[in-house]
Structure 1
Amino acid sequence: MSAVSTAPSRWERFKQSDFLYYFLRDKVAMSSFAVFLLFVIVAISSPWIAPTNPYDLSSIDIMDAELPPSWMEGGNEHFWLGTDEQGRDIFSTILYGSRLSLTIGFLAVGLQLILGIVIGLSAGYFGGRIDSFLMRFADIQLSFSTMMVAIIVSAIFKASFGGEFFSQYAVVMLVVIIGVAEWPQYARTVRASVLAEKKKEYVEAARVMGFKAPRIMFRHILPNCLSPILVISTVQVANAIMSEAALSFLGLGLPVDQPSLGSLISIGFTYIFSGAWWITAFPGAVLVLLVLVINLLGDWLRDVFNPKIYKG
């Protein structure tokens, strides 16, 4: 009797895939992924590895305000990167700020995904007036920048519920603002993929078998549209983090007592000309590095999923 051949597992198929092959050959992609993974691990572990807790007022001493980094004259060995104007450890606030910025970035992109996929699938699959209405709505949405939406929404909420309410729910508000402002990017991408996929034979076969539209859209068409969604997601995470930083810098984002990378840069900007450059410089460098590695990963994914331009 011949031995029954077993299908390879998902892990075996992944190890033999072109995706992993190209990834292991690309040093820039590997380096970017390693740095990004380090960011995520450090951000998650910040409550355990940070020397101090910037949220704990008992650990803050105003007498330690604006101390330079430990290797400079006047520095303290307990504060590696110096302190801010409140006496908080810059290194600890960067760790906590990275976690908050990444959290807002991922949650905002998650909201964009949900809205963009549902609207893009509906517009591409049904077509006609539904497509025209949804895409015109997306065009109107794109005419408003994230900053404009943030200003309008924050003004409405502050006038209706007060500044204390907005500060308490600032993270949720930023996720909603950035998510609502950027969903058309996903909707347009998904719609374009659906228009190409819905003409294929497997979709016609699903219709003949009597499957309802939601099942055809989400069970059959959507899995074949994941490649462009994955590519745009990496770019959108970087954009969401930059949007949060910009809004916080303008005073429309997180309050002072919730240290994100953007709020740290905003706090330190007023002190940069007084000599306390480290309050802004170190959070700014971390933000630039984080956005850079995410964008490099996004560029690599775009090239891999487009074999016509990828040269390995």
Structure 2
Amino acid sequence: MNTQTLEQRPTAWERFKASHFLHSFRTDKVAIISFSVFLFFALAALFAPLIAPYDPYDPAMIDIMDSEIAPAWSEEGDERFALGTDAQGRDMLSTILYGTRVSLMIGICAVLMQAFLGVVIGLAAGYFGGRVDSILMRIADVQLSFSTMMVAIVVLALFQAAFGAELYAKLAIFMLIMVIGIAEWPQYARTVRASVLAEKHKEYVDAARVMGFKSRRIMWRHILPNTLSPILVISTVQVANAIISEASLSFLGLGMPVSEPSLGSLISSGFAYIFSGSWWITVIPGVVLVLLVLVMNLLGDWLRDVLNPKLYKG
């Protein structure tokens, strides 16, 4: 009898196929298109070394005589360079593929740092309450009083002034992840704290306390799983925000160096040539950045509606 019951129990994949989440995704054309576009960008960035016609990091593949060649579809274009070249003679298609990989890596890693700090602080504040809650939330309020860009500009500018541009160029990607990650954790902390306050007085938490479970186990294994829905929604939007922050900092000269292209540094390096006729150096990476951020925001809106039954209309 028990064996038959186990055999009839649906697998995790079968439960997923029958879930409201997958049904909502299949019936939402905007979500399907947004996810398809994001998946295209992510796979193209991941396999950039295999897809890119040239290696923008290899000086042997760069010829300054090929600088500012228009895209292949224009009259002045060259069929060797589908999207043209930049002022250094690098193939734009290759630099965009590598730049998208850098931007996505910074965005995802920065959000992972934000989520870790915010979840830890939000769990502690909501579960323990009292003085712990007051201290942690006042720290979050102070952090929120400074914009991400202001914190990043001050920290990165001071680092460059103290240690030099050469060292900064080597550590730029780690500095951007750290600064953007630390600047945005209060968003997670406040959301997690609110969810914990709603969950910690429920019966399953009281039962766990009666059974003698330690606070750490109750927080991480019982309460946290019930707060994941808003965390997923915030993460989708925050990845887009982190990519925009990186692009803005690169445009201001405080992001990735020109030798290691990101979407922001590509836009920044081409801005000086946009009025001289070489519009593609800035416009094409800009379009890629806008599309990437747009589809991630659309996915975030869809996740918010699906994971919140009060907002989802079917």
Aligned residue type for 1:196:
A
Residue 5 of structure 1 is matched in structure 2 by 5
How do 1:284-295 and structure 2 match up within 5 A? 284-295=286-297
Summarize deviations over 1:122-157 as a string: whole Å, max 9, x none.
000000011011011001001111111112211232
How do 1:145-160 and structure 2 match up within 5 A? 145-160=147-162
Q: Distance in 2 between matches of 1:82 and 1:233?
A: 34
The Cα shift of 1:198 comes to 0.2
Residue 205 of structure 2 is matched in structure 1 by 203
Residue 238 of structure 1 is matched in structure 2 by 240
Residue 60 of structure 1 is matched in structure 2 by 62
The Cα shift of 1:62 comes to 0.4
Q: Distance in 2 between matches of 1:150 and 1:225?
A: 29
1:128 to 117, 130, 136: 130
Residue 46 of structure 2 is matched in structure 1 by 44
SS of residue paired to 1:76: coil
How do 1:6-21 and structure 2 match up within 5 A? 6=6, 7-21=9-23
Residue 218 of structure 1 is matched in structure 2 by 220
Q: Is the 8 A contact 2:157 2:254 kept in 1?
A: no
2:264 to 258, 262, 265: 262
SS of residue paired to 2:249: helix
Aligned residue type for 1:4:
Q
Aligned residue type for 2:41:
F
Q: Structure 1: which 5+ residue stretches go unaligned?
A: none
How do 1:91-110 and structure 2 match up within 5 A? 91-110=93-112
Counterparts in 2 of 1:106 and 1:3: CA distance versus 1, 3 Å: closer
Aligned residue type for 1:141:
Q
Q: Structure 2: which 5+ residue stretches go unaligned?
A: none
Counterparts in 2 of 1:274 and 1:21: CA distance versus 1, 3 Å: same
Provide the aligned length of Structure 1 versus Structure 2.
312
The Cα shift of 1:106 comes to 0.4
Q: Please give the TM-score of this superposition, normalised by the length of structure 2.
A: 0.97
Summarize deviations over 1:190-235 as a string: whole Å, max 9, x none.
0000000001001011111111111110010000000010111100
Q: CA RMSD in A?
A: 1.1
Aligned residue type for 2:181:
G
1:227 to 229, 235, 240: 229
Structure 1 position 83 matched with structure 2 position 79: no
Aligned residue type for 2:35:
F
SS of residue paired to 2:5: coil
Aligned residue type for 1:295:
N
Q: Distance in 2 between matches of 1:310 and 1:26?
A: 12
1:29 to 31, 34, 44: 31
Aligned residue type for 2:193:
R
Summarize deviations over 1:33-67 as a string: whole Å, max 9, x none.
11111111100010011000100011000000001
Aligned residue type for 1:94:
I
Q: Distance in 1 between matches of 2:299 and 2:156?
A: 33
The Cα shift of 1:2 comes to 9.0
Summarize deviations over 1:53-108 as a string: whole Å, max 9, x none.
10001100000000101111221100011100000001110000000000000000
Q: Distance in 2 between matches of 1:148 and 1:19?
A: 38
Structure 1 position 279 matched with structure 2 position 281: yes
The Cα shift of 1:3 comes to 6.8
Q: Is the 8 A contact 2:266 2:285 kept in 1?
A: yes
Q: Distance in 2 between matches of 1:127 and 1:2?
A: 45
SS of residue paired to 2:55: coil
Q: Distance in 2 between matches of 1:266 and 1:163?
A: 17
Report % sequence identity.
Answer: 70
Counterparts in 2 of 1:202 and 1:93: CA distance versus 1, 3 Å: same
Large movers: runs of 4+ above 2 Å:
none
SS of residue paired to 1:169: helix
Residue 137 of structure 1 is matched in structure 2 by 139
Aligned residue type for 1:102:
L
